[in-house]
């Protein structure tokens, strides 16, 4: 558990008396909706990224940085790889296995990390698993930048298939769409979100219809589903086939979203949507594109749009633009959610998080993340200029995250699910080979643009680990001089004047006297009639139910220690929590309550801890973090901040 979102997650079990399992409707707010309704909603949010892959996947295989000859062997071989990759990675790995690993209904890298570390405790390799989870989160941020850029740009490039004279307008139109997308984030997505599902249903229907139309032209393409064609493809030219994997993997980008968004819709609706709508529509389209390319090899420059009859090509471009905007929206929203989880788990400094819906807790807006993403996405589009160049940068973050998930799957199956050794080893080996091959192939893209997601991921990893380690060191330094509360109470009662009212001292530690309390007594020589030592503890589960939120201890002489528990998907609200406390005397009234916060000024030192440059980076992050007053929703006119200097 994480005290006041300040420490690195270590997988400790919840505190005594904390109920970690809440009813489904309490957790996610979709208990009253039918499975069908949730499945349609999932189609609009979960499958946007993987659903728009047909726009550019096959094109990149045959005209990308390692182009293949458009002939039967290569078409059938690539199509076989696409089918079995979708089957193995999405259907078996994610839908069948990984989605069983829900952390009280929630999914995603951080939820999986919290689940694994909680179940294992502080055993061997736990710290390594924490680092893997942090690395997966860092890589995700790189993916969040590339996905909107390549999705929107590839759809707008469809205008060239309608009228070649529109080509110069592709870049400006894509930038206008992307800027508009980020500008509307502050308004929330509740209204627009209602349209996501129906629009994506129409889009997937169009995918299936176009594919089926061309399959009827040449039904022999169905033989490409035979895995022997993938084997023949590799047997004909191993190096070229290996390089082609870097483009084939574009067909499964977005697979992580199935797991990450599980908390919004539930496992069953996502499974139904994938097996009955999305997967069939995708394969029909890939089959249709391949059949079309067999007859028209010259169309490899844009098979997705050119396969459409001329009269419907422009409507298809417009529909594709809408689909890519929806896919980008889902990724941006996912970035906000990951930021919120990272802040709560102590991996990022406090950031301003706005709630854009009064009824849906998951609809949030993070201004700093939004503007950073917008600037980086626009820079990416202007720098790479077309989807083919962007495709060279795409894939490393995705395959890296998939490989890390496989490593965690190995721990899950053996240490958590208690599978037999042979079963755990077999399934792990299968996905290590598959994910490892795709990741290795994508590493060859580094000179052509793959360096970008690695750069973003590396910067994010440094920031995440620096913050977590810095907070850990700072808390340790503050604890070194801590005075036991009972000793303090006995010595201070006789020397201090008691004044009316309540003083709440926020502290990250459950032991010792908060520095703010010591400073207040030293300078003001008073103690309030009621003194609350308050710790906000973020647990490694998504939600803690309200009736199990408060942990209370009376310490005598009007002193009380209160621990308020939240899940990492919940938003701390200290005044609301105190209003529910009945064990500490009279009901809390904000006008009679003063909140005391400690604000530390860090001094970089040579004592063991972190490198000097990381200490200075941590100090900068601390100065720019959102104030605890806003983060914990404290009344602005009732807060007193007391400063101190700390060497780390």
Is 563 in contact with 537 (CB distance < 8 Å)?
yes
Q: Round to the nearest angstrom and report the end-to-end CA distance of the chain.
A: 23
Q: Which of 113-117, 365-369, 426-430, 598-602 has the highest mean pLDDT?
A: 426-430
Radius of gyration of the chain (CA): 27
Instruction: Compute the average pLDDT of residues 449-470.
Output: 91
- For the chain, the average pLDDT equals 84
Confidence of residue 28 (pLDDT cuts 50, 70, 90): very low
Express the helix, strand and coil content of the chain in percent, nearest 5 each: 65, 10, 25
Which is more confidently placed, 452 or 610?
452
Question: 556 CB contacts (<8 Å, ≥6 apart)?
Answer: 486, 489
Torsion of CA 230, 234, 240, 245, to 10 degrees: 40
Is 326 in contact with 317 (CB distance < 8 Å)?
no
Confidence of residue 16 (pLDDT cuts 50, 70, 90): very low
Angstrom distance (rounded) from CA 613 to CA 604: 9
Question: 414 CB contacts (<8 Å, ≥6 apart)?
Answer: 421, 424
Residue with tokens 């206008």: 176
The residue count for the chain = 648
Instruction: Compute the average pLDDT of residues 342-346.
Output: 83
Q: What is the pLDDT of residue 43?
A: 87
pLDDT above 90: residue 81: yes
Of 1-15, 122-136, 279-293, 341-355, least confident by mean pLDDT is: 1-15
DSSP collapsed to 3 states, 556-580: ECCEEEEEEEECCCCCCCHHHHHHC
DSSP string covering 624-646 = HSPPHHHHTT--GGGEEEEEEEE
Instruction: Compute the average pLDDT of residues 343-356.
Output: 83
Phi, psi of 395 (to 5 degrees): 120, -35
Angstrom distance (rounded) from CA 339 to CA 569: 11
Angstrom distance (rounded) from CA 370 to CA 455: 19
pLDDT above 70: residue 26: no
Confidence of residue 477 (pLDDT cuts 50, 70, 90): confident
Instruction: Compute the average pLDDT of residues 339-363.
Output: 76
Is 384 in contact with 147 (CB distance < 8 Å)?
no
For residue 228, the SS3 value is helix
Q: What is the pLDDT of residue 463?
A: 94
Angstrom distance (rounded) from CA 106 to CA 340: 14
Topology, domain 35-401+437-469? Amino acid/polyamine transporter I (1.20.1740)
DSSP-derived letter for residue 532 is: E
Q: What is the pLDDT of residue 5?
A: 37
Q: What percent of the chain has pLDDT over 70?
A: 90
Is 50 in contact with 252 (CB distance < 8 Å)?
yes
Instruction: Compute the average pLDDT of residues 417-445.
Output: 93
Question: 422 CB contacts (<8 Å, ≥6 apart)?
Answer: none
* DSSP β-ladder status, 354-355 and 364-365: antiparallel
Helix (H) or strand (E) holding 326: helix 310-344
Angstrom distance (rounded) from CA 262 to CA 28: 10
Give 403-406 contacts, CB < 8 A, sequence gap 24+: 403/432, 403/435, 403/436, 403/439, 404/109, 404/132, 404/133, 404/135, 404/136, 404/139, 405/93, 405/98, 405/109, 405/112, 405/136, 405/256, 405/259, 406/93, 406/431, 406/432, 406/435
Q: Which of 8-12, 354-358, 433-437, 513-517 has the highest mean pLDDT?
A: 433-437
Angstrom distance (rounded) from CA 506 to CA 83: 55
Instruction: Compute the average pLDDT of residues 42-55.
Output: 88
- The total of other beta-carbon atoms located within 10 Å of residue 458's CB is 15
Tokens encoding 348: 């990022």
Q: What is the pLDDT of residue 125?
A: 60
Confidence of residue 360 (pLDDT cuts 50, 70, 90): low
Point out which residues pair with 644 in neighbouring strands: 600
Helix (H) or strand (E) holding 195: helix 190-215
Angstrom distance (rounded) from CA 174 to CA 151: 10
Domain ranges of the chain: 35-401+437-469, 482-647
Which is more confidently placed, 410 or 541?
410
Question: 67 CB contacts (<8 Å, ≥6 apart)?
Answer: 61
- The total of other beta-carbon atoms located within 10 Å of residue 426's CB is 12
**Residue 614's closest CA among 460, 457, 467?**
467
pLDDT above 90: residue 461: yes
Tokens encoding 128: 């390594």
Q: Tell me if the pTM is above 0.85.
A: no
Angstrom distance (rounded) from CA 586 to CA 563: 18
> Over the stretch 152-208, which tens digit does the pLDDT of each residue have?
999 999 999 888 888 899 999 999 999 998 988 887 655 556 678 889 999 999 999
pLDDT above 90: residue 61: yes
Confidence of residue 3 (pLDDT cuts 50, 70, 90): very low
pLDDT above 80: residue 224: yes
> Over the stretch 372-399, which tens digit does the pLDDT of each residue have?
999 999 999 999 988 888 888 888 888 9
């Amino acid at each position: 558990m994480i005290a006041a979102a300040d420490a690195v997650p270590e997988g400790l079990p919840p505190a005594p008396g904390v109920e970690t399992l809440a009813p489904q409707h309490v957790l996610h707010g979709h208990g009253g909706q039918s499975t069908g309704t949730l499945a349609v909603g999932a189609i609009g949010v979960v499958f946007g990224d993987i659903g728009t892959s047909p726009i550019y996947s096959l094109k990149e295989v045959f005209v990308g940085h390692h182009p293949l000859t458009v002939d039967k062997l290569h078409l059938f071989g690539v199509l076989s790889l696409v089918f079995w990759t979708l089957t193995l990675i999405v259907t078996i790995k994610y839908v069948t296995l990984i989605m069983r690993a829900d952390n009280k209904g929630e999914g995603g890298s951080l939820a999986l990390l919290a689940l694994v570390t909680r179940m294992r405790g502080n055993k061997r390799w736990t710290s390594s698993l924490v680092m893997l989870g942090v690395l997966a989160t860092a890589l995700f941020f790189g993916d969040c930048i590339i996905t909107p850029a390549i999705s929107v740009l590839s759809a707008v490039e469809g205008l060239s298939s309608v009228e070649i004279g529109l080509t110069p307008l592709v870049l400006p139109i894509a930038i206008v769409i992307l800027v508009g997308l980020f500008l509307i984030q502050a308004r929330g997505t509740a209204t627009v979100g209602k349209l996501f599902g129906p629009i994506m249903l129409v889009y997937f229907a169009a995918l299936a219809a176009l594919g089926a139309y061309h399959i009827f032209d040449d039904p022999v393409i169905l033989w490409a589903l035979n895995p022997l064609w993938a084997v023949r493809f590799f047997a004909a030219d191993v190096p070229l086939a290996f390089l082609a994997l870097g483009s084939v993997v574009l067909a499964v980008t977005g697979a992580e979203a199935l797991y990450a968004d599980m908390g919004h819709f539930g496992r069953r609706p996502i499974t139904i949507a994938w097996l009955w709508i999305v997967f069939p529509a995708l394969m029909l389209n890939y089959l249709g594109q391949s059949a079309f390319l067999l007859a028209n090899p010259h169309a490899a420059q844009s098979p997705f749009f050119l396969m459409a009859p001329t009269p419907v090509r422009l409507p298809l471009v417009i529909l594709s633009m809408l689909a890519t905007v929806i896919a980008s929206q889902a990724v941006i929203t996912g970035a906000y959610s990951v930021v919120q989880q990272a802040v709560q788990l102590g991996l990022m400094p406090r950031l301003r998080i706005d709630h854009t819906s009064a009824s849906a807790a998951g609809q949030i807006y993070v201004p700093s993340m939004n503007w950073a993403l917008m600037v980086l996405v626009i820079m990416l589009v202007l720098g790479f200029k077309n989807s083919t160049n962007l495709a060279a940068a795409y894939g490393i973050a995705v395959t890296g995250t998939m490989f890390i998930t496989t490593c965690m799957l190995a721990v899950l199956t053996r240490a958590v699910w208690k599978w037999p050794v042979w079963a755990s080893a077999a399934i792990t080996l299968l996905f290590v080979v598959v994910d490892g091959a795709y990741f290795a192939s994508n590493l060859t893209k580094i000179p052509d643009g793959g360096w970008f997601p690695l750069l973003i991921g590396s910067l994010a990893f440094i920031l995440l680990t620096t913050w977590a380690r810095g907070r850990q060191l700072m808390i340790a330094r503050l604890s070194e001089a801590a005075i036991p509360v009972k000793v303090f109470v006995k010595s201070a009662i006789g020397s201090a004047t008691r004044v009316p009212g309540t003083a709440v001292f926020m502290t990250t530690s459950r032991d010792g006297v908060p520095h703010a309390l010591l400073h207040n007594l030293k300078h003001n020589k008073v103690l309030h009639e009621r003194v609350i030592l308050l710790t906000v503890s973020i647990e490694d589960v998504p939600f803690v139910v309200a009736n199990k939120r408060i942990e209370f201890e009376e310490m005598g002489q009007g002193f009380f220690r209160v621990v308020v528990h939240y899940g990492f998907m919940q938003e701390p609200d200290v005044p609301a929590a105190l209003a529910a406390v009945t064990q500490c005397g009279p009901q809390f009234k904000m006008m009679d309550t003063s909140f005391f916060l400690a604000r530390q000024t860090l001094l970089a030192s040579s004592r063991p801890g972190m490198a000097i440059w990381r200490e200075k980076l941590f100090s900068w992050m601390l100065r720019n973090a959102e104030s605890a007053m806003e983060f914990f929703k404290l009344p602005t006119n009732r807060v007193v901040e007391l400063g101190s200097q700390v060497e780390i």
